[in-house]
Amino acid sequence: MLAGAAHAADSAGGLKVGITLHPYYSFVANVVGDRAEVIPLINSESNPHGYSPQPDDMRRATDMDVMVVNGIGHDEWAFEIIEAAGRKDNLPLIYANNAVALLPVSGDQELVVNAHTFVSITSAVQQVYEIARGLGAIDPDNALFYRENAQAYGARLRRLRANYMTQFSELDTSSFNSATMHGAYDYMMQEFGLSVAAVIEPRHGVNPTARQLARTIDDIKAANVNVLFAEAYFSSRLADTIQEATDVQVYSFSHIDAGPYTPTRFEEEMQANLDTLAEAIASTVVVE
């Protein structure tokens, strides 16, 4: 969905492309190269979960020609910023997930859409192509350049995925049963033929009640879960509690949601996640 494209098309010089989330910085930077400026909407250390808009965010929004958004629940605050900045009717939006097959959050009784499509190589490539298409519609003079860059970046990401597909094919996953602290990893797990038996947090950063925790521990035991994935960079006493109650092994995944905005950030964090996943799978192999 693009709105107000004429405003961006008439901009002097290269496009100023806004982004809401860290992975989108990597995606856009690799698509536009040196022909556009990538502008993060929020500071690099800000946590996008439950984010409260700040005055500087509105200033940045006024300087953008177009913005790439998640649009399915992970950056709702961006729309508040756009409206407060007076850009609701003249800031084109590229909805990165237009072509992504969406999943519900694992274990969620209400089938809430999982907004974490960016923690996956498969859906990342789909989003990169959608971003290139959207930018090309706004900036037709550079459309071919954007498309070729997207294809090259997508090929690099697919090679990364293929390397791990080969590695995982040599691992015995028959005893691997996982749970996650946060419902952010379903897309990544699915692309490698794995699933999540339980999600601990009802919402990110919100600990379950004592009753919910007790039920989750029972579910983990009943499903023979042997691996729990917590979120990297965040200490969690809750994960320790679950480990003590169930004897699961705890590993950490990156949510790619804080730290420097760089073109290579997505690849680096996903490679670390997949190394961790390989280690976790190998730890569950039963030696006879």
Distance (Å, whole) CA 67 – CA 40: 9
Per-residue pLDDT for 5 more than 60? no
Both tokens of 68, joined, read 């790439």
Question: Which pLDDT tens digit goes with each residue over 112-137?
Answer: 889 999 999 999 999 999 999 999 99
Confidence band for 12, pLDDT divided at 50, 70 and 90: very low
In the chain, the percentage of residues whose pLDDT exceeds 70 is 89
Residue of 218 and 10 predicted with greater confidence: 218
Cα-to-chain-centroid distance, residue 269: 11
Could you say which DSSP state residue 214 is in? H
Per-residue pLDDT for 8 more than 50? no
Distance (Å, whole) CA 24 – CA 14: 18
SS3 at position 41: coil
Q: Which residues of 72-101 are buried (b: 16+ CB within 10 A; e: fewer)?
A: bebbbbbbebbeebebeeebbbbbbbeebe
Strand order in the sheet with 227-231: 196-199, 178-180, 227-231, 249-253
Helix (H) or strand (E) holding 178: strand 178-180
What CATH architecture is 171-283?
3-Layer(aba) Sandwich (3.40)
| CB 66 within 8 Å of CB 7 | no
Per-residue pLDDT for 145 more than 90? yes
* Beta-bridge mates of residue 104: 113
The matching CATH number, chosen from 3.30.365.10, 3.40.50.740, 3.40.50.1980, 3.10.20.30, for 5-162 is 3.40.50.1980
Helix (H) or strand (E) holding 252: strand 249-253
pTM passes above 0.85: yes
> What residue spans of the chain are helical by DSSP H?
5-9, 22-32, 55-62, 76-84, 121-138, 143-169, 186-191, 210-222, 237-246, 265-283
Distance (Å, whole) CA 100 – CA 226: 30
Beta strand 66-69 pairing with 15-19: parallel
Distance (Å, whole) CA 27 – CA 25: 5
Q: Locate the domains of the chain by residue range.
A: 5-162, 171-283
Question: Which pLDDT tens digit goes with each residue over 146-188?
Answer: 999 999 999 999 999 999 999 999 999 999 999 998 888 999 9
pLDDT of 10 = 44
In the chain, the percentage of residues whose pLDDT exceeds 90 is 68
Please state the rounded mean pLDDT for residues 179-207: 84
Per-residue pLDDT for 233 more than 90? no
Asked if the domains 5-162 and 171-283 are classified in one and the same CATH topology, the answer is yes
Please state the rounded mean pLDDT for residues 235-253: 85
Confidence band for 3, pLDDT divided at 50, 70 and 90: very low
Question: Which pLDDT tens digit goes with each residue over 23-80?
Answer: 999 999 999 999 999 999 999 999 898 899 999 999 999 999 999 999 999 999 999 9
Residue of 208 and 51 predicted with greater confidence: 51
